[in-house]
Amino acid sequence: MPKRLKLTRRVNIAMTEDAWRKLKKFSAEAGLDEGEALSFLFENFSSVTDESNLTHRLRIFNSELEARKK
């Protein structure tokens, strides 16, 4: 029997407008709500990311973070 998706955690999150639009688009295309889409992405994180690209993009994001906060 397949495991039932049970959303047991609710977390207030802050994200950029770009991130929110991309999450909304992804969830709509996948037929999921935003919480289900986030659960899918984090449950399958290593499968949906390229580790070398992730490290590079994370460095760029961190270097721009302070400027983006202003």
Residues 2-15: tens digit of each pLDDT: 566 777 888 889 99
Query: What tokens appear for 15 in the block?
Result: 């994200």
What ranges do the domains of the chain cover?
Answer: 28-69
Residues 17-34: tens digit of each pLDDT: 999 999 999 999 999 999
pTM of the predicted model, to two decimals? 0.75
Residues 43-67: tens digit of each pLDDT: 999 999 998 899 999 999 999 988 8
